[in-house]
A = this chain, B = another copy of it.
């Protein structure tokens, strides 16, 4: 990281007020690459979603419901970090159009358990494959350790409090 070098020198030669110099020198490269990568990454599904009259909000909901059959509203809200009113708007549309089904909870009948219909699974898979194509292109020619590094990096960008939760969600159990 070229940006860090002048900072390090400044610190070593003189005295700085900041606590940790390395964290004080902006990592412009990773900040900007993250922006551009995300910009392009989420744009792939847009065209397809459009055909169904859906947006990115629908995509997120459908994705997690498809991945976690039986997800409750509360769990989904915790994943997406939006209000129940916002969620309900898109969820309602997904249900009306037959992509998601809501069943009453068995142990707790106040809960709604969400399931993707076959149609819902199809669409979710289609979109996931599209994004996977981009990911595979980026991973190609990359060592397994490289993929490991990327995975660990992304995981550690997440708020520490959420990491175990996310790990469970993503990997199924609790490893890294």
A interface residue numbers (CB < 8 A to B)? 1-2, 20, 22-41, 60, 63, 67, 81, 125, 128-129, 131-139, 142-143, 145-147, 149-159, 162, 166, 169-171
Contact = CB atoms under 8 A, between A and B. Distances in A.
A40 B132 contact: no
A34 B71 CA distance: 20
Contacts of A153: 138-139, 142, 146, 150
A156 B138 CA distance: 5
A37 B155 contact: yes
A156 B137 contact: yes
A122 B37 CA distance: 26
A157 B134 contact: yes
